[in-house]
Structure 1
Amino acid sequence: MSYIGRFAPSPSGLLHFGSLIAALGSYFQAKAMQGKWLVRIEDIDPPREMPGAASAILKTLEQYGLYWDGEVVYQSQRHHLYQAQIEEWLKSGQAYYCQCSRKQIKESGGYYLGTCRNLGLTNAQHCSVRLRMDNPVESFEDLKRGEMIIPHALAHEDFIIKRRDGLFAYNLAVVIDDIEQGVTEVVRGADLIEPTGRQISLYKTLNQTPIRYLHLPLAVDAEGNKFSKQNHATAIDNNNPKPAIMKAMSFLGFDLPKDFMSCTIEEMMDWGCKNWCLTQLPEEIKIIP
């Protein structure tokens, strides 16, 4: 099977240094494997989106020499696929409506205990939809870290696939899209390790073979905060990409040539693809001044 990787940012803000690490890591891994690198805009949460961010993200990728294969996919145009799968599961009993609030779940210990599993609720108003956890995943193999253990309660929890506000859950959308796009391996930040077990369980529930996962180390600032849109990380500079590219590549463990700054961006990307190696990746967290 040919390699297909992807980069899937949400348009809740502009690309920052942490985003660049994920983009470069997934790009280098795909191209080092002579594979395809897809881009998908995960715009399924309109209240959190920033106007114009999707087009700005694509422009930034181009400015940084990160050119994708095929057409860009937008999750906002794929609601019918997510809803069709949910309706199929509701009909078969694999999924069910749940009226429990976050407050109730927090009061019961922080994990959902299956309160609505056998109530047979039929009124979708003010309800979320949960998936019966018939395929719990208590561990998975990460290409960098080896075996990752998932807490028992989390692995066995019936999780939400459609929210009370009518928006589709990230885990469902990302798995349906990865399957439909033929993705063979996901390379992303370590902050997404926790939902990986649920995503693998979705593969099994859909009778699909789970794919491989590689979680890149997190970049944090001097206070220990990860670079993220939630933490208001500064957007990377579209007008002067080279310094950020070199900084991100150094973070990813590359030993850059002394004359690297004199290279074109295209030459930087080509060099990175040819010299990429998983063993060069740093440990779990690295502080970026």
Structure 2
Amino acid sequence: MQDTPVPPVGRFAPSPSGPLHFGSVVAAVGSYLSARAAGGRWLLRIEDVDAPRSVPGAGEGIVRTLARLGFEWDGPLVWQHERLPDYAEALAVLRARNRVYGCACTRKMLAGAPRAADGSARYPGTCRTGLPAGQAARAWRFAVAPGVVRFVDRVQGEMAEDVAADVGDFVLLRADGLYAYQLAVVVDDAAAGVTEVVRGIDLLPSTARQIALQAALDIPTPRYAHLPVVVDAYGQKLSKQSLARAVDGLPDGQVLFDALCCLGQAPPAELAGAPVAHIWPWALAHWSLEAVPRTAAVHARRDYDR
């Protein structure tokens, strides 16, 4: 007798550094349909742990935009700023297991270090065996275990990274006292019971690090699927940093239809510009992760960059 498949738990976790843009809508649609089409749950979390980058009111605006586009989430909305004690507890566990250490290095000291895949400095291990004489810890780093982290991405295929060699020991508690994204997202996903993470390929470089943290904390590793990001006519990723236009004010049906096109779902032309209440049933009935382009980037059907 075969076991009954367990419905997945997915999530969307935008950062409130500005209003929701089309690239984020595409990621939200992909994560939503992956969970919902399989009879699963979909959660919403606002990742505001990086307080200096959070724009006042942006989180609330993102929530309103998602609701207007027809997204429905399960359970309460989660804000990372309310979960700081959980991150502190996880850091204490790692400290008890000798998997973190204090680091006195500054950005200036690491300016000449080689770069990791996401552009961060590849840490040379300066403080791994102890702080230099007369210096105090500014941040806390995760002591990465040697070996290659392997996983199968459901869109991009087989992946492997030697985190120790390619990234080095990465920061979990920053010098400004803020918890790093890598720790927060791992703790949050585990607490929520997330079983699948569907997000943009721009976050693929974080995945091996997060899997290494999950192993160190003895928590399950979800399945991963990294969707292509949306780029403008010049090949630049749509993002808040590139001043991508907010989808607020654009026709909701147009935005949702175009997102499905970017995800390779080929919605019928008669749905273009239809009310979102008409588009979602078709999208749920026809969702196919296998149809998502196995590429790093896709172009939108129209101009969403300004």
The match for 2:82 among 77, 86, 103 is 77
Partner of 2:3: none
Partner of 2:123: 112
Q: What's the % identity of the aligned pairs? A: 41
Is residue 287 of structure 2 the alignment partner of residue 276 of structure 1? yes
- 8 Å CA contact 1:155–1:198 kept in 2: the answer is no
- 8 Å CA contact 2:198–2:226 kept in 1: the answer is yes
The match for 1:219 among 225, 230, 234 is 230
- 8 Å CA contact 1:134–1:205 kept in 2: the answer is no
Q: 2-side partners of 1:55 and 1:221: how far apart?
A: 27
Is residue 173 of structure 2 the alignment partner of residue 199 of structure 1? no
| Matched length | 289
Q: Per-residue deviation at 1:258? A: 2.8
Q: Per-residue deviation at 1:71? A: 0.5
The match for 1:33 among 17, 25, 38 is 38
Q: Per-residue deviation at 1:263? A: 4.0
1:96 partner SS: strand
Q: 1-side partners of 2:52 and 2:231: how far apart?
A: 26
For structure 1, the residue ranges without an aligned partner over 5 or more in a row are: none
Q: Per-residue deviation at 1:284? A: 2.5
Partner of 1:173: 184
Task: Give the residue type in structure 1 aligned to 2:280.
Answer: M
Partner of 1:235: 246
Q: Per-residue deviation at 1:45? A: 1.1
Q: Per-residue deviation at 1:138? A: 3.4
Alignment CA distance shift 1:265-1:125 (3 Å): farther
Q: 2-side partners of 1:158 and 1:100: how far apart?
A: 12
Task: Give the residue type in structure 2 aligned to 1:286.
Answer: V
Partner of 1:55: 60
1:113 partner SS: coil
The match for 2:159 among 136, 148, 160 is 148
Task: Give the residue type in structure 1 aligned to 2:298.
Answer: K
Partner of 2:118: none
Partner of 1:10: 15
Q: 1-side partners of 2:61 and 2:99: how far apart?
A: 39
Q: Per-residue deviation at 1:50? A: 0.9
Q: 2-side partners of 1:195 and 1:146: how far apart?
A: 16
Task: Give the residue type in structure 1 aligned to 2:9.
Answer: I
Task: Give the residue type in structure 2 aligned to 1:88.
Answer: V
Task: Give the residue type in structure 2 aligned to 1:168.
Answer: Y
Q: Per-residue deviation at 1:92? A: 3.5
- 8 Å CA contact 2:140–2:173 kept in 1: the answer is yes
Task: Give the residue type in structure 2 aligned to 1:98.
Answer: C
Partner of 2:119: none
TM-score by length of 1: 0.93
Runs of 4+ in 1 over 4 A off after TM superposition: 123-126, 151-156
2:269 partner SS: coil
Q: Per-residue deviation at 1:248? A: 1.0
For structure 2, the residue ranges without an aligned partner over 5 or more in a row are: 1-5, 116-121
Q: 2-side partners of 1:94 and 1:6: how far apart?
A: 28
